[in-house]
Amino acid sequence: MPVLKRVKTCDLLAHAKEKAEERREGEKKRRNRGMEKTCWVPGCMERAMYLKAHAFIVHIPSIFSETLDSTDERLLRGRRSALNQAGRWLLGKPVTLDELVAFVVVQKMLSTLDNTSISERQEAAMKEFCKFLHEPIPEKVTLVPCNSVGALLHWKVLLLLAASLSEEERAYWVLNFQAPEDA
């Protein structure tokens, strides 16, 4: 004869609530997966299934491409220059990259709710960038809150910066901070 295990009602309710929440989250992710997303850049009327691809094609300088060698010193210098230029425009003066991180944090456009993740490849590039700049390397890079200058290389942070620039600044940024052809 099977022995029935006694379980408290509150434990059963907590478990049921947890499972229901997991189901809701899964449904929400499935619904959002096939939806077009609106670009964050003012004036860009593009609705894209893949906002990241759109951002790299139109708004983010190619020097930040995730397919490039993250240890190439030319790219690291170019990325630093591109971020310094964006910071100069956004804050109206020469800034440190730490000040640019503070700018990103204050914007509060990045949220834990938007399913943002950092791939191993992105994290390796971020840590390589920190090493190049002689900046502390966090154990885990996070976007919310943005905890490192390395996080400035994430495409959502770059898109936020691009969206904060004027149209002319953005065009200059994309045109003048391209990856070297042999990179």
Average pLDDT over residues 48-62: 91
Residue 60 pLDDT exceeds 70: yes
Is the pLDDT confidence value at 182 over 80? Answer: yes
Q: Is the pLDDT of residue 7 over 50?
A: no
Stretch among 40-44, 83-87, 105-109, 179-183 having the lowest mean pLDDT: 105-109
Residues 176 and 183: their CA atoms lie apart, in Å, by 16
Tokens linked to 157: 């942070």
pLDDT level of residue 46 (50, 70, 90 thresholds):
confident
Structure tokens at 42: 């003012």
Residue type for 106, please?
V
CB 60 within 8 A of CB 44: no
Q: What is the mean pLDDT of residues 61-70?
A: 96
Distance between CA atoms of 85 and 105, rounded to whole angstroms? 18
The dihedrals phi and psi of 47, each to the nearest 5 degrees, come to -115, 120
Using CA atoms, how far apart are residues 90 and 166, in angstroms rounded to an integer?
Answer: 9
Provide the pLDDT for residue 171: 96
Give the whole-angstrom CA distance, residue 172 versus residue 124.
Answer: 28
Residue 177: CA count within 13 A, CB half-sphere: 28
